[in-house]
Chain A
Amino acid sequence: MENINIKHLNKYNQNSIMIHSADAKLSVNHIKFWLDILMEINEDFSILVRDENSYKKLIKEFPRLQICYAKAPVDVETVVNAQPKLNIVFYTSNMARNIHLLRFNHLKHIFIGTKDSEWLSQYNKSYRAYDEFWAGGEFAINKLKNEIGNTGHLEFKIVGKPQIKDSIEPRYKEKDTNLVLIDNNNELLLEKIYFANKTLNKKMYLYLSNEKTTIKNNLMSIAKLHSFTNKLQIFRDKEVVNDFAKRVSLIITDLQNINPYLLQYKVPLVVYIEREYDKYLINIDLLRESIYYFSNKNELIEVLTTISTDDFLKDRREKALNKFFNQEAISKNIFLETLQLKKTF
């Protein structure tokens, strides 16, 4: 157990940017979410994590990056002092231990959040410790303003989520296809979706995890019997969900899997709910009002038929997408542009 490790920090570094995560369990994910974007800056930057295990994992995966670990306030001070050009600190999560870094007045403290923090976080007055709050879109900014009232000095910047730049670009969609992203244990739901697709002769791409071999075999046997195998494609690798989502013309999902990121594919989202009022389990109005619902096979057939002629939620979906992830900011690389501007000051 050590209190500090800065051996991966270049001795004569010129780092002006550092990204910080104090989360004990999720630091690796938080950092990795932003890593590709930071790489695009084409300048040296450092990473500071406050959990030793996360540090070890990150160092193992990215041995050439300037990753530091600091436990106590005095260790954080050492990390800051070892980077004389340091100017900007990005915070991925709002943890109690951020205070050790936030006390440095000469640094610009910018909160950028994590993949899902903008809708999962309960914003509170401690966010006022930052100088700036960079958000995907208006949604997070309005949420923060509503929750804490007086935001004082806090500057807001809409930077989009640069990570989804590729998905929001216009692209060809395969007609009459859908991607099915549902809880793999819900076989009854899978059955409903299969038969609805079969009835309408629509192609379905289904994600099934590796351990669901029996379900896969059963489904393939039925499809064979129905001569529907060419319309059913099952894939086991979660990494390729994004690729399929980009090419289909519709996504069928459930309450477990629905989240604002699905809006990035710009196709209708159809969500299974057991009862009408279950839709209120989606606690973000903007998302709840941008999706289609079904509770049984017939309803799904009806929804899919309607959408094929009149996707009446298209505008609402587009509006929601912009509120979560401002497309203009993403296309114009506002994140990097703002960062470049900050660095020149």
Chain B
Amino acid sequence: MSKLTKLVKHPVLFFQDAVKKPAVKKTVVVKDDFNFNKFELYTHLLHTGENVTGLSHLDLWIPQFLKANVDFIIMLRNYELFDVVKKKYPQFSILFAKGDKEIQYYLKQLVFLKACFYPSNTGSNMHLLKFNNLKHIFIGHGDSDKTASAHKYFRVYDENWVAGKAHIDRFINEGFNFTGLNFIEVGRPNLKETLKISQIPWKKRFNDKLNLLYLSTWEGFFEEQNYTSVYFIKSFFNLMLEKGLLNTVNIKIHPGIGRRDTNLLSINNDLKKIFENTDLDYNIYDKTKPVEEIIKESNIFICDISAVVSESLAANAPIFVYIPKNTEIKLTKSKMMYEDYTYTFSNIEELFEKIEDVIVNNNDYLASKREEAMEYILGKNETLEDKFIQRLKEI
């Protein structure tokens, strides 16, 4: 409808539209940089294609790149994350490149670059992978036996830096051909401090006090992949309070909780209500608190199936893992399964029975297997020997 027709046929609409403010076009930022010095000899590039959730991945690795004293630059693909990272790490060089063209633009200027490091698998990694002259190394963001941690896409990288042998076995057991992908065992550098603390027996670590850490996962995209124990954890804590076994309770709920099942959105508040009128020392942490920091302060762990099980392993203390029944659990298999080094449970009664046996009756019968798993899964020796940093320097 032309403006004239509108004026004649719908005069009210014509004048309404006339007084409306014209829509302001949003400028989309496609590239940006911070502390970028073209004359700096950057040799290492740390890339994440994640949104703000990628911050935790960067938090994991930036301190290690710093310790290695290599010339590195951070490349981000999400502008919101770029803003967050430059505030948190104002001393580093950071690039934001939205698409393929912008990557080409910056990479032309990074003439001394030798290798790109990827903490996660995102589609946008492909734009960097186009540079055949560079070494592409996957470093991950934690050890996990979920199917996402051992699949065919990993073959695009030149090297996969893993914590311990367990991750290599997971690839072997998936049964696909990955000749050409080199595995390098580098340990879990972010768990080095925890591994040092773990040399003190767990019971004596906090002057005979029991500090429980509960780490939940979220409910997953599909019900058949729902591994979370949050549905009954309130009842468990109520029971534990009655028994008076604990001194401290630390809780960190997966930030994705409630994404599919909105009833779970109030879980942090519900848990707070349980503890607020008790004498118990409790902390409910949000996503900003690094999990390895809470692990250091705890000596009993209740976890759902996720990477946090192996993180908790670094503390060398009893771990109770929820294995749901009647749920399809898609995991990649290594030589050590959860039941080999953790106390698994499928319901609240089973959990309580095992806690009583291990803690009250002093029967930590998986202690030696746990130590074995620390080497096999976490690469304890590689971690203590700073293998990751050594490898970074060798690039």
Chain A residues in contact with chain B, CB under 8 A? 74, 77, 94-100, 102-105, 109, 122, 124-129, 131, 147-154
Report which of A74, A109, A128 forms a contact with B180, defined as CB distance below 8 A: A128
- B132 engages A129 (CB within 8 Å): no
Contacts of B358 in A (CB 8 A): none
Contacts of B136 in A (CB 8 A): 125
- A122 engages B130 (CB within 8 Å): yes
Query: Given A99-B123, A153-B178, is A147 in contact with B155 using a C-beta cutoff of 8 Å?
Result: no
Contacts of A151 in B (CB 8 A): 180
Report which of B122, B123, B130 forms a contact with A124, defined as CB distance below 8 A: B130
Q: Which chain B residues (91-140) contact chain A, with CB distance < 8 Å? A: 121-127, 129-132, 136
- A131 engages B130 (CB within 8 Å): no
- A125 engages B152 (CB within 8 Å): no
Report which of B121, B127, B155, B174 forms a contact with A153, defined as CB distance below 8 A: B155
**In the complex, B177 has a CB within 8 A of chain A:** yes
- List 28 A–B pairs whose Cβ atoms lie within 8 Å, in order of A's numbering: A74-B221, A96-B124, A96-B127, A99-B122, A99-B123, A99-B125, A99-B126, A103-B121, A104-B152, A105-B147, A105-B151, A109-B152, A122-B130, A124-B130, A124-B132, A125-B136, A125-B156, A125-B157, A126-B129, A126-B156, A127-B156, A129-B156, A150-B158, A152-B180, A153-B155, A153-B177, A153-B178, A154-B180
Q: Nearest chain-B residue to A96 (Cβ)?
A: B123
Task: Report the minimal beta-carbon distance from A287 to chain B, rounded to whole angstroms.
Answer: 23
Interface centre among B126, B174, B222, by most chain A C-beta atoms within 10 angstroms, is B126
Contacts of A97 in B (CB 8 A): 123
Q: Which chain B residues (139-153) contact chain A, with CB distance < 8 Å? A: 147-148, 150-153
- B180 engages A100 (CB within 8 Å): no
Contacts of B124 in A (CB 8 A): 96
Report which of A98, A100, A124, A129 forms a contact with B155, defined as CB distance below 8 A: A129
- A103 engages B178 (CB within 8 Å): no
- A105 engages B126 (CB within 8 Å): no
Task: Report the minimal beta-carbon distance from B298 to chain A, rounded to whole angstroms.
Answer: 33
Task: Report the minimal beta-carbon distance from A44 to chain B, rounded to whole angstroms.
Answer: 25
Contacts of B175 in A (CB 8 A): 105
- B127 engages A152 (CB within 8 Å): no
**A-B contact number at CB 8 A:** 83
- B126 engages A96 (CB within 8 Å): yes
- B126 engages A152 (CB within 8 Å): no
Contacts of B130 in A (CB 8 A): 122, 124, 126
Query: Given A96-B126, A99-B126, A147-B132, is A131 in contact with B177 using a C-beta cutoff of 8 Å?
Result: yes
- B151 engages A128 (CB within 8 Å): no
Q: Nearest chain-B residue to A146 (Cβ)?
A: B132
Task: Report the minimal beta-carbon distance from B393 to chain A, rounded to whole angstroms.
Answer: 23
CA A228 to CA B179, docked complex, whole Å: 65
- A99 engages B179 (CB within 8 Å): no
**In the complex, B176 has a CB within 8 A of chain A:** yes
**In the complex, B181 has a CB within 8 A of chain A:** yes
Report which of B126, B177, B179 forms a contact with A126, defined as CB distance below 8 A: B126
Q: Nearest chain-A residue to B225 (Cβ)?
A: A77
Size band of the B side of the interface? 20 to 34
- B178 engages A148 (CB within 8 Å): no
Task: Report the minimal beta-carbon distance from A86 to chain B, rounded to whole angstroms.
Answer: 15
CA A126 to CA B222, docked complex, whole Å: 29
Contacts of A74 in B (CB 8 A): 221
- A153 engages B151 (CB within 8 Å): no
Contacts of A126 in B (CB 8 A): 126, 129-130, 156
Query: Given A102-B152, A149-B132, is A131 in contact with B221 using a C-beta cutoff of 8 Å?
Result: no
Task: Report the minimal beta-carbon distance from A109 to chain B, rounded to whole angstroms.
Answer: 6
Task: Report the minimal beta-carbon distance from B53 to chain A, rounded to whole angstroms.
Answer: 14
Give 3 closest A-B pairs by Cβ, nearest first: A152-B180, A96-B123, A153-B177
Task: Report the minimal beta-carbon distance from A103 to chain B, rounded to whole angstroms.
Answer: 4
Q: A129-B155, A153-B176 are in contact. List 7 more A-B contacts (CB 8 A).
A: A77-B221, A102-B153, A105-B174, A124-B132, A125-B157, A152-B181, A153-B179
Contacts of A152 in B (CB 8 A): 155, 178-181
Contacts of A128 in B (CB 8 A): 155-156, 180
CA A341 to CA B121, docked complex, whole Å: 32
- B153 engages A129 (CB within 8 Å): yes
Contacts of A154 in B (CB 8 A): 180
CA A99 to CA B127, docked complex, whole Å: 13
CA A129 to CA B132, docked complex, whole Å: 15
CA A126 to CA B121, docked complex, whole Å: 12
Q: Which chain B residues (158-191) contact chain A, with CB distance < 8 Å? A: 158, 174-181
- B123 engages A105 (CB within 8 Å): no
CA A150 to CA B229, docked complex, whole Å: 44
CA A102 to CA B155, docked complex, whole Å: 10
- B121 engages A99 (CB within 8 Å): yes
Report which of B151, B158, B180, B221 forms a contact with A104, defined as CB distance below 8 A: B151
CA A98 to CA B124, docked complex, whole Å: 11
Contacts of A150 in B (CB 8 A): 158, 180
Task: Report the minimal beta-carbon distance from A108 to chain B, rounded to whole angstroms.
Answer: 10
CA A32 to CA B177, docked complex, whole Å: 31
CA A122 to CA B157, docked complex, whole Å: 17
Report which of B121, B131, B152, B156 forms a contact with A105, defined as CB distance below 8 A: B152
CA A129 to CA B152, docked complex, whole Å: 6
- A125 engages B122 (CB within 8 Å): no
- B179 engages A103 (CB within 8 Å): no
Q: Nearest chain-B residue to A109 (Cβ)?
A: B152
Query: Given A151-B180, A152-B179, A153-B177, is A103 in contact with B129 using a C-beta cutoff of 8 Å?
Result: no
Task: Report the minimal beta-carbon distance from A228 to chain B, rounded to whole angstroms.
Answer: 51
Contacts of B178 in A (CB 8 A): 152-153
CA A94 to CA B153, docked complex, whole Å: 12
Interface centre among A95, A105, A154, by most chain B C-beta atoms within 10 angstroms, is A105
- B129 engages A100 (CB within 8 Å): no
CA A124 to CA B133, docked complex, whole Å: 10
Query: Given A96-B127, A150-B158, is A105 in contact with B176 using a C-beta cutoff of 8 Å?
Result: yes
Contacts of B126 in A (CB 8 A): 94-96, 99, 126
Task: Report the minimal beta-carbon distance from A288 to chain B, rounded to whole angstroms.
Answer: 24
CA A97 to CA B127, docked complex, whole Å: 11
- A100 engages B151 (CB within 8 Å): no
CA A77 to CA B157, docked complex, whole Å: 23
Task: Report the minimal beta-carbon distance from B173 to chain A, rounded to whole angstroms.
Answer: 10
CA A148 to CA B180, docked complex, whole Å: 12
Interface centre among B132, B148, B221, by most chain A C-beta atoms within 10 angstroms, is B132
- B151 engages A103 (CB within 8 Å): yes
Task: Report the minimal beta-carbon distance from A149 to chain B, rounded to whole angstroms.
Answer: 7
